[in-house]
Structure formats: structure tokens, C-alpha cells
């Protein structure tokens, strides 16, 4: 451990192990209540353009919508699919169980809400070989089938929605803080200790932090893209972002300044809203009057700027196909930011503890059009 006040020496750069061509790829996927998406996700995995063997390991949580039965049907029809039980439904635990059951030296994390382009893995393997990185990721390309889901997708794809991380629309290849999903060398995962099962959200970021601390490179390649289908309802979206924010607050408690400054924007918005409500109440009750009330009104300016920014995103060229899309965008962006920011403040104040993403549990998906 370094002494207080001294500069921490950066780790010596290390190349990830070389893997022989055609050595095989293992896809690992945590699954819970994903009946509407699972078959398409698995199909895009098993139809990847590869020179070597492949397998898909599905870590099955206790689904209530028929997902488990569908997974068993898919596994019975294709010997490349392996099922492992994940009774606690924790994503990092499921990922570790799937990795432990895998056979090949390259691990590709996939999501039941995601779909891979046919050449995704082949491109990623070439990038791994060229850069000698330990983990390679690309762009999360969110999409939607309904006005609400399309609004969420636009928020995901916009720098305004999720803070401008490279995998939300970056175009410049290079070293990265983290990777969306990720194509990883198994030997490096074993060395750094797989996913931290005490972290229920943000586990990718924390794993990549340890990979980089060990001297390996995490690489962003914008030619790689994964289609992601967001949550289908306002309530599920709010629950998802509240849980994600809580765990980011926990990660700030654990890792402090290693977290990017962009993570602090949503909690700053929540604090500004709270201050504005206090000032408005004091003004309405005449506790604040005269020049003091006028000076206190400055707290409204950031909110006015934020509201204008959301409106520009909603009505702008990327605002959607019609009025319903634009109106949902007006609702979706503040929902994401406020839920995430409130969760962050709670997680920072008291820790995330056993906070889970309840948007994934006990909720039957409705058929999509």
C-alpha cells in the first residue's frame, strides 16, 4: 500500500495472453424474466461468423414469465447451449457461474436484452489480437419497438441521457475506462478474480478497474456495436435507474476519485431540485422577501437550463417519429436522471447494501408488437 501523500505509481503495461486462432469462444449470459428477448439474443450468439467452436452458457435466475422453460427448449435443440442455475438472480454471481462452466479461452459477455451483429465476435477477436488488450468493447446501440421504448433508446444513445461514456456513441478508438459487455481473455479474468459478487450493479466498471490496475488494457472499438432493447415501462425504468444509481454511490464510497466526474451530474440535479423547492416554499410563505428572495431565485437558473436542454433533445431531429415519441422523451430523460441521482445520494450516504434491480424481478413482460 502506498504511503499517504505519495504518488501511486501506474502499473507496468502488460499484454494479454495470445490465444491461438480458432481456439473457441464462450458466451456468458445472465437471464431473468426475458422471454420476449431471449430467443433472439441466443440466436445472434450462435450464428456468429467464427472460425472455431462456440458455446453459450445461460445463468438462469428464478424467472416467472416462462423464460426458464424457453431456455430449456433452446438448450434441448442445440448442444452448444449450457444452462446453469443462478437462484439468487445476482448478475455478477450468474456471470461467474457461467464463466466457471465455460471451456474456451475467450469470454464474451452478452445480455438477454442484446443482439449481436453477425461479425461482432470476429471483429472483436481481431481487435484483441491487434491491441493485446484484455477486454474489448464497442457501442451500445439502443433501439425500441414502442414510443416509450424508442424514447428510452434515444436517451441511451444521447450524451445527455447517460453522460457521454465512450460506449454510448463514441467514435474514436482507443483505451477506455470500461467496456460495454466485453470480449475478454479468460486467463486475465482468472488472474484478477472474476466479477466481484458483492457488487450487484456497476460490476463491469469495477472489473475493468481491476483489469487496468493489473496493468492490462481495456479497449474501445467503435466498429463493434450491440443492439440493446431498454425497459418497456416507465415504472421499470425508474426502478432500474434508482438501483443503478445506488450502486454507483456505493462504488464512489469504495473507490472515490477513480469514478468519473460525469457520475456526479445526476445527484447535483437532484440537490438543485431540492434547493429550488425549499426556496420556492420560503418565497411563497413570505419568509424570503425583497432582494433576498430575488437573489435566492438564482437557484432556478440551472433548472431552467436543464428543462430547455431536455426540450431541445425531445423536439430536435432525433426526437422521434411522432408526438408520442417526443412527449415520452420529455418524461424519460428526467426520470432517468432523477431516479439515478436519488439512488446515488442514498447509496453514497448509507451504502447500497442489498439494493437490487426490482425491474427484473417478479414482473411478467407483456407481448411486444
Asked whether residue 263 falls in the same domain as residue 214, the answer is no
Mean pLDDT across 343-359: 89
Mean pLDDT across 278-297: 94
Tally the domains of the chain. Answer: 2
Asked whether residue 163 falls in the same domain as residue 226, the answer is yes
Quick one: pLDDT at residue 6? 40
Asked whether residue 219 falls in the same domain as residue 91, the answer is yes
Asked whether residue 213 falls in the same domain as residue 319, the answer is no
Determine the angle formed by the axes of helices 300-315 and 265-284, rounding to 10 degrees: 120
pLDDT at 358 over 90: no
| CATH code of 184's domain | 3.90.550.10
Quick one: pLDDT at residue 366? 41
Asked whether residue 347 falls in the same domain as residue 302, the answer is yes
Question: Distance between CA 26 and CA 104 in Å, rounded?
Answer: 6
**Could you tell me what percent of the chain has a pLDDT over 90?**
75
Distances (CA, A) of 195 to 40, 78, 96, 100, 246: 26, 28, 6, 11, 18
CA 221 to chain centre: 17
75 within domain boundaries: yes
Mean pLDDT across 273-286: 96
pTM of the model: 0.87
Q: How confident is the model at residue 159 (pLDDT cuts 50, 70, 90)?
A: confident
Asked whether residue 226 falls in the same domain as residue 263, the answer is no
Mean pLDDT across 244-249: 94
E strand or H helix at 198, and its extent? Answer: none
301 within domain boundaries: yes
Asked whether residue 123 falls in the same domain as residue 201, the answer is yes
Q: What is the largest CA-CA distance in the chain?
A: 76
Quick one: pLDDT at residue 98? 98
Cell numbers at 288, concatenated = 424570503
9 within domain boundaries: no
- Grid look-up 463514441 returns 170
CB atoms within 10 A of CB 78: 12
Asked whether residue 131 falls in the same domain as residue 181, the answer is yes
Q: Which residue stretches of 1-48 are H helix?
A: 38-46
Q: How confident is the model at residue 9 (pLDDT cuts 50, 70, 90)?
A: low
Question: Distance between CA 200 and CA 202 in Å, rounded?
Answer: 7
Question: Distance between CA 59 and CA 56 in Å, rounded?
Answer: 10
Phi, psi of 143 (to 5 degrees): -145, 165
Quick one: pLDDT at residue 4? 40
Quick one: pLDDT at residue 172? 85
The pLDDT tens digits of the residues spanning 60-94 come to: 999 999 999 999 999 999 999 999 999 998 999 99
The pLDDT tens digits of the residues spanning 161-213 come to: 775 555 555 678 999 999 999 999 999 999 999 999 999 999 999 999 999 99
- Between 205 and 11, whose confidence is greater? 205
Asked whether residue 302 falls in the same domain as residue 209, the answer is no
Q: How confident is the model at residue 365 (pLDDT cuts 50, 70, 90)?
A: very low
6 within domain boundaries: no
36 within domain boundaries: yes
CB atoms within 10 A of CB 284: 9
- Of 197, 231, 265, which closes a domain? 231
- Of 168, 200, 231, which closes a domain? 231
Asked whether residue 211 falls in the same domain as residue 272, the answer is no
The pLDDT tens digits of the residues spanning 302-340 come to: 999 999 999 988 887 655 568 888 899 999 999 999 999
290 within domain boundaries: yes
Which residues are paired to 81 by β-bridges? 56
Quick one: pLDDT at residue 367? 39
Cell numbers at 262, concatenated = 460525469
Q: Which is nearest to 82 in space by CA: 44, 108, 56? A: 56
**Could you tell me what percent of the chain has a pLDDT over 70?**
91
Upper half-sphere CA count for residue 184 (Cβ side, 13 Å): 30
172 within domain boundaries: yes
On average, the pLDDT of the chain sits at 89
CB atoms within 10 A of CB 315: 14
Cell numbers at 103, concatenated = 471451456
Cell numbers at 15, concatenated = 499484454
The pLDDT tens digits of the residues spanning 218-242 come to: 999 999 999 999 988 999 999 999 9
Distances (CA, A) of 167 to 156, 177, 224, 230, 338: 10, 10, 10, 15, 22
CA dihedral 129, 170, 324, 344 (to 10 degrees): 100
Q: Which domain holds residue 178?
A: 25-231
137 class by beta-carbon count within 10 Å (0-12 exposed, 13-18 middle, 19+ buried): buried
248 within domain boundaries: no
Asked whether residue 197 falls in the same domain as residue 333, the answer is no
Asked whether residue 325 falls in the same domain as residue 189, the answer is no
Amino acid at each position: 500500500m502506498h504511503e499517504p501523500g505519495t504518488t501511486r505509481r501506474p502499473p507496468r503495461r502488460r499484454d494479454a495472453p495470445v490465444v491461438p486462432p480458432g481456439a473457441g469462444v464462450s458466451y456468458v449470459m445472465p437471464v431473468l424474466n426475458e422471454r420476449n428477448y431471449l430467443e433472439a439474443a441466443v440466436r445472434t450468439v450462435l450464428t456468429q461468423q467464427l472460425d472455431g467452436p462456440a458455446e453459450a452458457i445461460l445463468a438462469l435466475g428464478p424467472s416467472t414469465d416462462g423464460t426458464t422453460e424457453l431456455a430449456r427448449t433452446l438448450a434441448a435443440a442445440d448442444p452448444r447451449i449450457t444452462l446453469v442455475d443462478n437462484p439468487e438472480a445476482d448478475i455478477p454471481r450468474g456471470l461467474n457461474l457461467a464463466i466457471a462452466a465455460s471451456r474456451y479461452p475467450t469470454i464474451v459477455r452478452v445480455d438477454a436484452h442484446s443482439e449481436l451483429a453477425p461479425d461482432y465476435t470476429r471483429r472483436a477477436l481481431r481487435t484483441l489480437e491487434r491491441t493485446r488488450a484484455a477486454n474489448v468493447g464497442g457501442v451500445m446501440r439502443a433501439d425500441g419497438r414502442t414510443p416509450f421504448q424508442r424514447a428510452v433508446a434515444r436517451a441511451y444513445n444521447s450524451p445527455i441521457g447517460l453522460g457521454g461514456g465512450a460506449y454510448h456513441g463514441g467514435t474514436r478508438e482507443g483505451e477506455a475506462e470500461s467496456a460495454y459487455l466485453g470480449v475478454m481473455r479468460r486467463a486475465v479474468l482468472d488472474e484478477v478474480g472474476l466479477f466481484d459478487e458483492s457488487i450487484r450493479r456497476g460490476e463491469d466498471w469495477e472489473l475493468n478497474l481491476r483489469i487496468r490496475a493489473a496493468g492490462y488494457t481495456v479497449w474501445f472499438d467503435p466498429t463493434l456495436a450491440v443492439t440493446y432493447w431498454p425497459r418497456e415501462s416507465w415504472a421499470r425504468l425508474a426502478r432500474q435507474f434508482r438501483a443503478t444509481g445506488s450502486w454507483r454511490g456505493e462504488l464512489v464510497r469504495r473507490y472515490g476519485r477513480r469514478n468519473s466526474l460525469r457520475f456526479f451530474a445526476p445527484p447535483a440535479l437532484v440537490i438543485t431540485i431540492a434547493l429550488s423547492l425549499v426556496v420556492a416554499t420560503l418565497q411563497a410563505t413570505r419568509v424570503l422577501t425583497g432582494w433576498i428572495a430575488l437573489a435566492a431565485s438564482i437557484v432556478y437558473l440551472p433548472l431552467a437550463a436543464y428543462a430547455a436542454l431536455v426540450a431541445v433533445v425531445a423536439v430536435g431531429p432525433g426526437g422521434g417519429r411522432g408526438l408520442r415519441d417526443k412527449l415520452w422523451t420529455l418524461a424519460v430523460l428526467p426520470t432517468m436522471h432523477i431516479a439515478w441521482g436519488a439512488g446515488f445520494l442514498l447509496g453514497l450516504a448509507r451504502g447500497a447494501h442489498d439494493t437490487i434491480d426490482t425491474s427484473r424481478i417478479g414482473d411478467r413482460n407483456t407481448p411486444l408488437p
